[in-house]
Amino acid sequence: MNAVKIRGLEIAARHGVYDFEKSTPQLFVIDADLYTDFYSAAKYDDLNATVNYSQVCNTLIKIATENTFNLIETLAYSCANALMGGFPLSGLSITVYKPEAPMKVKFSNVGVTVTLERERAFLSIGSSLGDKKGYLDKAVKLLGATQGITVKKISSYIETEPYGGVAENKFLNCAAEISTWLPPLKLLEEIHRIEAECGRERLARWGDRTLDIDIIFYGGKIIREDALSVPHPEYSKRDFVLIPLKEIAPEFVCPLTFKKINKF
């Protein structure tokens, strides 16, 4: 994997939990590995086809000097999010060191590392209450406004019968392809926030709802957590998931079955 590397970027900034740390600049040191495809840059010797590390450094300096955080964890994530959002990266690993941290012990350095990876994910979005189209439209808008999520494709909206024997109303459904650097469980947190903003109440499983968003695929990953299973266990049985997915990603290969979506 190609990487642009930055080592030992020194920045005087004000971050820490103590008042004097917020008023007096201290030394922070940043290392970064920026994963990007620079084959074309190397082939044509073209700076515009790679990540300009001078611009990256300027971005890191701007984030560090124009903000004041209690934690270097917050500083590290702020830097990572700014780089992922501002440069064509497939992923990164960034470490923020605080060599002058005010501790009454002898140490050479302390720091934190943030690692992010951009993934292609697919969501199923549905509504069976109220202004169904309005809720789907709002969901797409809120997804696109969430840091770490870029909406790439939206399928046509289709009307479907309720699934599971609990809901009484017909659903309006669509599928979305997104690019995201949020880890799966953090993506799920943002989805739950968006559902709540649209009035979702979790009263009965498979019941009617203003908005329902499911993660169907997250890249080629297989995830089995208490809170999240990906690929979604029921997706291949649900036409309201498959029909929109076939429209926007017919060639996507399920990491469990190794079948293309258009073969289901």
Q: What is the pTM of this model?
A: 0.89
Among residues of the chain, what percentage have pLDDT more than 70?
Answer: 96
CA 10 – CA 98 distance, rounded (Å)? 10
Q: Retrieve residue 17's tokens.
A: 């939990």
Q: Rounded mean pLDDT of 121-138?
A: 96
| From 161-165, 175-179, 240-244, the region with the lowest mean pLDDT | 161-165
Count the helices and strands in the chain (H runs, E runs): 7, 11
Residue 206 has what pLDDT?
62
Q: Residue 164 above 80 pLDDT?
A: no
CATH topology for 119-263 is Alpha-Beta Plaits (3.30.70)
Residue with tokens 């934690």: 71
CATH 3.30.70.560 segments of the chain: 119-263
The pLDDT-based confidence of 204 (bands split at 50, 70, 90) is low
Q: Residue 181 above 80 pLDDT?
A: yes
CA 17-21-22 angle, to 5 degrees, is: 85
The pLDDT-based confidence of 1 (bands split at 50, 70, 90) is confident
> b vs e for 175-206, b when ≥16 Cβ sit within 10 Å of the residue's Cβ?
bbbbebbbbbeebbebbeebbeebebeeeeee
The pLDDT-based confidence of 166 (bands split at 50, 70, 90) is low
In this structure, the chain runs to a length of 264
Which of 5, 43, 98, 132 does the annotation list as catalytic? 98
CATH 3.30.1130.10 segments of the chain: 3-117
Q: Is 98 known to be catalytic?
A: yes
Among residues of the chain, what percentage have pLDDT more than 90?
Answer: 88
What is the overall mean pLDDT for the chain?
94
CATH topology for 3-117 is GTP Cyclohydrolase I, domain 2 (3.30.1130)
